[in-house]
Structure 1
Amino acid sequence: MSSVPVGDTSGARLVDAMRQIRDRCVWTQGIDHRMLVPYLIEESYELVEAVEAGSREDLVEELGDVLWQVVFHAEIASRDPDAPFDFDDVAEAVTRKMVHRHPHVFGDEQAPTPEDVLRVWNAAKATEKAQRASALEGIPQAMPSLALADKVLGRAASLGVRPEPEVERFADEDALGDHLLAVVAAAKADGLDAERALRTAVRRLSARVLDAERPGAAPTTADRDG
């Protein structure tokens, strides 16, 4: 068996290795995009753990594992008989998107502060998503409920929709974490599913967002306040 060809870059060698494995490994040949999803989720969580509590070596390893998932998906797609694409197509697409969203880097836009950068980013992103029918489009519903809630709350706020009722504010993440843990503990003691409860509450908030987006909807408190 031949060795992995040496390409011009480490990225090229990685793609070459994936191609050879796909050609010669019967297990890999039987994998499709859906079958890879559990591995991608697991590797993503391992990367998060490395970022938050791992060493530099852990971070290098876990970034590589996530990158391998990207290369694996691209290799599967490259063999699609109807609509193939490969790793270069993926890299080119994300490069175009990032260049478009950074006109203060690649164009004439001025963004001297982090707040300006966020404004420029959101404006560029809005032009890409102009055809979306709802502010909630593009939010993956399979996200863990806390991450999903954070995303939906951000989109809801842009329409002046707020959760009800509002709760106390927290001085730092330690205090917030203790509060969340206490809420989960109380839910568990009462036989309630905290994950499902939060997901249900997010659905209710999402329904309010959709109501606010309907033509002729009554203005929200934020809208009335200007």
Structure 2
Amino acid sequence: MDQEFPPSESPHAVKSAESEARGAKLAELVEIMRRLRDPVQGCAWDRVQDFRSISPYTIEEAYEVADAIDRMDMDDLKDELGDLQLQVVYHARMAEELGAFTIDDVMTSICAKMVRRHPHIFGDREESPGWEALKAEERAQDRNGSGDTSALAGVAHALPALKRAEKLQRRAARVGFDWPDASGPKAKIDEELAELNEAKNASERQSELGDLLFSVVNLARHLEIDPETALREASNRFEKRFRLVEDIADKSLKDLNIEELEALWKQAKKGISG
């Protein structure tokens, strides 16, 4: 039996009320930020910030969201998502002060983009051509008017270095600029390692080490391994094992020679395999 709603509680009315409640909360946050940024009565710290000074906090909040997800801490995730939402409102407020755009423009833009990139849901395509394919279509059309229609257009410089390297490689691979299999990146790693060993000064060593890391990312991509995740997990393993080394050592690590340290490390690896 279909559920019946009183006229005031129809599904449409319920959705409308929910939307209005969400909109009211966003409007409240926007107003809070407006008051914080007021040049006369606002917060002394908030009103002097600009895009560049706030940008590091935006990146930090995104990482804290990811950390809460890794720990599956829903209470923390709720708070961190709020902090991240604040960053969106903060940047939008500063843009509005410059006459560039408003939070409403931000919402309009993302809604249009989501509809545009899901033509199989909101349009007349039976199947989605894929998110990346649709993004490539937009780049080819130079939708943002940047004049840059390169296959590498839009890969943000502020991305973590490993993630940016991977995205650049994936973009290049889509237009055929890629090794046919993992043997190419493996050989390139050997080549770059040899060049690193032959580097004559600090500048050359930095350049060759960068090429080596880039090649390692390329190998990870061919092995279908996320390099950011792999390195994060390796760092976590190192931290756990090092802490165990500290626990089982009978004196300061500074007082141990390399053989003793290696023995403790092997013992820690046996204690923590994951």
Corresponding residue of 1:14: 29
Higher relative contact order (CA 8 A, sep 6+): 1
**For residues 210 and 94 of structure 2, what CA distance do their matches in structure 1 show?**
37
Greater CA deviation, 88-97 or 132-141? 132-141
Equivalent pair of 2:139/2:153 in contact (CA under 8 Å): no
CA RMSD of aligned residues (A): 3.2
Q: Map of 1:25-64 to 2, 5 A cutoff?
A: 25-64=43-82
The number of residues matched between the two structures is 170
1:165 aligns with 2:184: yes
Mark the runs of 5 or more structure 2 residues left unpaired by the alignment. 1-20, 143-147, 188-201, 219-274
**For residues 33 and 65 of structure 2, what CA distance do their matches in structure 1 show?**
21
Q: Map of 1:31-110 to 2, 5 A cutoff?
A: 31-80=49-98, 83-110=99-126
From the CA coordinates, give the structure whose radius of gyration is larger: 2
Corresponding residue of 1:179: none
Corresponding residue of 2:149: 133
Return closer, same or farther for 1:72/1:166 CA change in 2, 3 Å cut-off: same
**For residues 77 and 95 of structure 2, what CA distance do their matches in structure 1 show?**
27
Equivalent pair of 1:7/1:13 in contact (CA under 8 Å): no
Deviation at 1:125, TM superposition (A): 2.2
SS at match of 2:184: coil
Q: Give TM-score, length-normalised by structure 2.
A: 0.54
Q: Give TM-score, length-normalised by structure 1.
A: 0.65
**For residues 133 and 35 of structure 1, what CA distance do their matches in structure 2 show?**
30
What residue identity is the alignment partner of 1:127?
E
Equivalent pair of 1:74/1:87 in contact (CA under 8 Å): yes
What residue identity is the alignment partner of 1:201?
F
> CA-to-partner distance for each residue in 1:45-86, whole Å, 9 max, x for gaps?
111111112410111111111110010000111111xx4311
Identity %: 38
> CA-to-partner distance for each residue in 1:190-226, whole Å, 9 max, x for gaps?
x9879x6258737xx9xxxxxxxxxxxxxxxxxxxxx
SS at match of 1:125: helix
Q: Map of 1:183-222 to 2, 5 A cutoff?
A: 197=210, 201=214
Mark the runs of 5 or more structure 1 residues left unpaired by the alignment. 1-5, 112-116, 169-190, 206-226
**For residues 44 and 8 of structure 1, what CA distance do their matches in structure 2 show?**
23
